Amino acid sequence: AQTVTQSQPEMSVQEAETVTLSCTYDTSESDYYLFWYKQPPSRQMILVIRQEAYKQQNATENRFSVNFQKAAKSFSLKISDSQLGDAAMYFCAPLQGGSEKLVFGKGMKLTVNP
């Protein structure tokens, strides 16, 4: 079964600073998709960013960007200019190869300090 590792269960960052959340995964596929979702205290899962493995260019969505290292099977999320509203659980979730299923990591709790 595919595995996803988010090695840091918790992190904190000062408002306006930058933070990087790590994620590594295991797959035998060559073409797949990777996602980062956030879950704030409301518990609504919100799509943050998505990356297609065949694209070499790292995805960017406003203050959010990824560092996708395909050979290393690493998919980290960088949040720039952190805001209080960024405080949430963040889940890394590759799409299981040849499947429709997302494989979720254990999540990482991000605290943003004012």
Partner 1 sequence: GAVVSQHPSRVICKSGTSVKIECRSLDFQATTMFWYRQFPKQSLMLMATSNEGSKATYEQGVEKDKFLINHASLTLSTLTVTSAHPEDSSFYICSARGSPGRGGEETQYFGPGTRLLVL
Judge contact between 106 and 89, C-beta under 8 A: no
- Pick 14 or 99: Cβ nearer partner 1: 99
CB of 24 vs partner 1, minimal distance in Å: 16
Can you give the binding site for partner 1, defined by CB under 8 A? 33, 35, 37, 42-47, 50, 91, 95, 100-102, 104-107
Judge contact between 23 and 5, C-beta under 8 A: yes
Instruction: Give the single-character DSSP code of 30.
Output: S
Token pair, residue 61, equals 């969505």
CB of 16 vs partner 1, minimal distance in Å: 27
